[in-house]
Amino acid sequence: MSESHTLEALFGGTFDPIHFGHLKPVEVLAAQVGLKKVTLLPNNVPPHRPQPEASPSQRVEMVRLAIANLPLFDLDLREMQRDTPSFTLETLTELRAERGDNQPLAFIIGQDSLLTLHKWHRWEELLSLCHLLVCKRPGYDSTMETPALQRWLEQHQIRQAEALHQHPCGRIFLADTPLVSISATEIRDRLHSGQSCDDLIPPAVSAYILAAGLYRKP
């Protein structure tokens, strides 16, 4: 049991670019669960997806601009500073070693990531290092892709957030967050075809994309 530590939450992503679909659900999740800080972890070489269009430094700059006036959020560049693939398990192992065994740690994902978590590197070990907090995402139901993942969810899911604060790791909490129908893919597609995305991303990120000539028409 952990009594003197504050639950610490991490949110990894490609952020190509960061958008309101990342920020809004997590703000609601933080209020629901009682998170004081959410640390964004932009990944360098995402192992299971196509390479990002924006460079690592551009993605970091967009994250910085997006959170500049949002005190809930923080930024951790450790995955950017490695040139090996960003495996969440390795990052969490490193953080766990730094924080010690009693610190409650949580990793935030969207529902789409939960459904395919069995594709993550050594996914069954994740809960030995952290809790998982899951935000709803439109278009993704509750059907896990494999029976093993479904069983794992049933074994570890909790319905009340209190246990997240009382234990260092091992629980999965599906939060009641708003459905925000935005993806970075849609943003890149819209920008490629010359459409505006001002309603989908923070204004400072829009201005940066324009000035840097990012996601232009091919």
Residues that bind ligand ATP (CB under 6 A): 13-16, 21-22, 25, 109-110, 112-113, 135, 137, 180, 182-185
Minimum gap (Å) between residue 212 Cβ and ligand ATP? 18
We find the least distance from the C-beta atom of residue 102 to ligand ATP, in angstroms, to be 26
Shortest spacing between CB 15 and ligand ATP, in angstroms:
5
CB-hemisphere CA count at 13 Å for 147?
0
Q: Which CB atom, from 157 or from 181, has the smaller least distance to ligand ATP?
A: 181
Whole-angstrom Cα distance, residue 114 to residue 111? Answer: 5
- CB-based contact 118:95 (threshold 8 Å): no
Q: Which is nearer to ligand ATP, 5 or 127 (CB)?
A: 127
Q: Which is nearer to ligand ATP, 132 or 164 (CB)?
A: 132
Q: Name the closest residue to ligand ATP (Cβ).
A: 110
Query: Residue 100 Cβ, how far from ligand ATP at the closest point, in Å?
Result: 26
Q: Residue 13 or residue 168: which is nearer to ligand ATP going by CB?
A: 13
User: Which residues neighbour 91 within 8 Å (Cβ) at sequence distance 6 or greater?
Assistant: 10, 12, 41, 78, 79
Select 102 or 157, whichever has its Cβ closest to ligand ATP.
157
Contact of 154 with 195, CB cutoff 8 Å: no
Distance between CA atoms of 175 and 134, rounded to whole angstroms? 6
Nearer to ligand ATP, 15 or 215 (CB): 15
CA separation for the pair 6, 2 (Å, rounded): 9
* The three-state (H, E, C) secondary structure of 135-191, written as one string: ECCCCCCCCCCCHHHHHHHHHHEECCCHHHHHCCCCCEEECCCCCCCCCHHHHHHHH
Radius of gyration of the chain (CA): 17
> Minimum distance from CB of 2 to ligand ATP (Å)?
25
Give least dist CB 97 to ligand ATP, A: 24
